[in-house]
Chains A and B, each alone.
Chain A
């Protein structure tokens, strides 16, 4: 029997009787990270990385039953060993390694291989079977190093300032927003943020993450407060009347989908920055290779393409349908105007 099975509730470990990132309520859920398509509401008990605990509580409520463990510290669940390894996707994100009777599987959750400074450094884990995401599983998605992208973003902010415009960056409130804040903190004097980002920020600052101070945008915020600041808002704000307060402004979308011009143009933004918290094509390939796995299951994204490519490389690979990939970043940007 396989150590893990794909069921209609999610990825299931029969030997340990637990699920990983289930999409329907179960008794015991191991959670890779706090995004809503992986950490869903209604499970009786949650297990995740300690850094994820406050984020899960923020999103699912203070009253959930949740246990946090550190990276690389195995925990036995019904005799099955479960341990977490950094996934580099966002704060607290983890790959889950399950070992039992000489077999080991790793569930990647979402991951990226470039170290962004705040989400932890992705660590390849040796295993027999690897379950990988494939959000950007096509060779056209090869990211520029983030140093270069942040330099582009800074240049853009500078030129907006010269043109007398406010700079509004759209970034997912949990993950991408902190990545921007952390990497721009030495170059920007003031950040103005949307309430959703502010809420996450409060929780993270209590945990002493090295993030800069931010100011919450409220209906009472005077227009003058935006001068010389950088504004960060979630993608859902695009095209809404809420944005009017920033006029005149330039809109920059931060998402891996911005790699392709068509997506960029569809977003009706002034600039697109292809910066993603998911692995690019070389990243996915490196990650798969580094696990040494003989068998790979490919979940959400360009799963059939990536699986076929891996098969051509001599691996046993298959596509698995899951209900992951509903998070903002994983969906196409389809801004309505």
Chain B
């Protein structure tokens, strides 16, 4: 595992994309064949299921070090990463064992899946006692996942493309879909046959950049197709060889989570791949339900009858990628869209709907329509060039998202907690309150939106103005006012304020405002009434 942990170290220390790319590419050119698919899996969200829980790791580390739980927790909240906390706390290795490659450790861990707790414990403790300091962090990370070292999917693709001399777009497709690192070699994945034999294989998604300026920069309105931008789960629906698969953008196979699509199996022709948005849909009102109702479906394995009745999902179709077994991504959107419209009409089932095109003659008209986005239950507009092929990954030029401006509210910070990853040991996670008569009512947390410099200032302020400490949380004097932005709002029985926000984040620090000038709970309720 030495090579892999050096790679992780290089990647996490480097601040330059090129250096990272170089390191990855070099790794793929030189690593053990059996290690390679694992590295690809680990860095592209294909991590194996966890076999040991965080609580177990924590408990065994406490046993090994003799630390009490509160002190362990203090350490964890300062480091902001469990795997790293444990690696820092463990005593020096007791003995030296023979070095093993990465795949050995991952296979060992997989074998623990069904093992008894005592077997897991002795394996973990033994590994901790034998692994050199530099490899313990990586070992722990193999269990807890999430390396947080700034390696994106596209960086992986580019590194592999460089090593294997395959075009990134092709490669991206080759490594997608249903494969397991313990049974697949990278060379198998990167052979053309594989792409044809795997029925479930999705295409890499085409993603849009945000349109920063108005649409005038896109020049001729007649060259563009406008659609609403829906806020659900971006997905692909695939039917090949009498089998159907649904994939999320995170390359998770989600067919079983959405039985609503089952009736489509006999209706869709073989060799069809649709790109769209999975949304809970109010079939009577003909509009999407708030995202929260979809959220209840995401984490669950089994869907309840009640959920199927109250929040059934539909696929709002954006695009057609494969038709009659043929990859039609190179065709212009105009033609793909035509085929898609016919297909949706022909299938004629409420689980499959077309994401409608918006008629407009000029940009002013569209600009005005955009303001209605929230009323339709959408989060803005998508603009796609009619002549555009379906590309791979996030690309500028042909597709743009033009979201509505977020909703905002001024609130005061009342609690603070230390952050994770790059923000370890800094107070970066804040809870905000609005005023309700003489009281402050917490209504949301927000983590991002401040610059590093502002974070340093706020962190310093918190350290000097905290009132009480509850575990990792500090209560602070309600003085600092922030503008909190969010994309949506819904009523919630689980929150004290009675509301839940979608994508809350800090828009800016209102140093010009005092705590008595913040918004009230009534203001929030008003927004709920309007947009909830």
Contact = CB atoms under 8 A, between A and B. Distances in A.
A and B interact: yes
A252 to B, nearest CB: 10
A262 B74 contact: no
Interface string A62-96: 00000000000000000000000000000000000
A269 B13 CA distance: 7
Contacts of A332: 425-426, 456, 459
Nearest to B12: A261
B68 interface: yes
A260 B85 CA distance: 9
Interface string B456-470: 100100000000010
A334 interface: yes
A312 B71 CA distance: 11
A1 interface: no
A272 B15 CA distance: 13
A138 B452 contact: no
A302 B452 CA distance: 23
A327 interface: no
B359 to A, nearest CB: 47
Interface residues of A, number: 28
B75 interface: yes
B156 to A, nearest CB: 19
A302 B65 CA distance: 20
Contacts of A138: 71, 74-75, 78
A27 interface: no
A336 B68 CA distance: 37
A302 B84 CA distance: 19
Most B C-beta atoms less than 10 A away, residue of A262, A264, A312? A262
Interface stretch (B324-332, B415-423, B522-530): B415-423
B75 A139 contact: yes
Nearest to B91: A142
B85 A140 contact: yes
Given A260-B425, A268-B15, A309-B71, A336 B84 contact: no
A270 interface: yes
Nearest to A144: B133
Interface string A256-280: 0101111111101111100000000
Chain B at the A interface: SS class? helix
A247 interface: no
B464 to A, nearest CB: 9
A291 interface: no
B64 to A, nearest CB: 12
B71 A140 contact: no
A5 interface: no
A336 B452 CA distance: 7
Given A140-B89, A305-B71, A262 B421 contact: yes
A126 B300 CA distance: 61
Interface residues of B, number: 33
A261 B452 CA distance: 17
A160 interface: no
A261 B74 contact: no
B501 interface: no
B180 interface: no
Contact of B89 (A139, A261, A269, A337): A139
B14 interface: yes
A67 B71 CA distance: 43
B14 A270 contact: yes
Contact of A305 (B74, B421, B426): B74
Nearest to A138: B75
A183 interface: no
Interface in A158-179: none
B79 A140 contact: yes
Nearest to B67: A139
A141 B380 CA distance: 48
B319 interface: no
Given A140-B88, A265-B422, A266-B423, A260 B79 contact: yes
B81 interface: yes
A262 B424 contact: yes
A157 to B, nearest CB: 16
B181 interface: no
Most A C-beta atoms less than 10 A away, residue of B75, B84, B469? B75
A304 interface: yes
B301 interface: no
A262 B452 contact: no
A304 B71 CA distance: 11
A309 B452 CA distance: 32
Interface string B36-80: 000000000000000000000000000001011011001100111
A262 B14 contact: no
A33 B74 CA distance: 30
Contacts of A263: 424-425
Nearest to B420: A262
Interface string B1-34: 0000000000011110000000000000000000
Contact of A336 (B80, B453, B469): B453
A262 B422 CA distance: 4
Contact of A139 (B71, B81, B420, B459): B71
A25 B521 CA distance: 48
B302 to A, nearest CB: 38
Contacts of B89: 139-140
Contacts of A264: 12-13
A243 to B, nearest CB: 14
Nearest to A264: B13
Interface string A293-337: 000000000101100110010000000000000000000101011
A155 to B, nearest CB: 13
Contacts of A308: 70
Given A142-B88, A332-B426, A334-B456, A262 B71 contact: no
23 contacts: A138-B71, A138-B75, A139-B67, A139-B88, A140-B78, A142-B88, A260-B78, A260-B88, A261-B81, A262-B420, A262-B422, A262-B424, A265-B15, A266-B423, A266-B426, A270-B15, A302-B78, A312-B68, A332-B459, A334-B453, A334-B455, A336-B452, A336-B453
Interface of A: 138-140, 142, 257, 259-266, 268-272, 302, 304-305, 308-309, 312, 332, 334, 336-337
Interface of B: 12-15, 65, 67-68, 70-71, 74-75, 78-81, 84-85, 88-89, 419-426, 452-453, 455-456, 459, 469
Given A261-B84, A270-B15, A271-B13, 5 more contacts: A139-B67, A260-B84, A266-B422, A270-B13, A337-B452
What 5 pairs between A and B have smallest CB-CB spacing? A262-B424, A334-B456, A140-B88, A140-B75, A265-B422
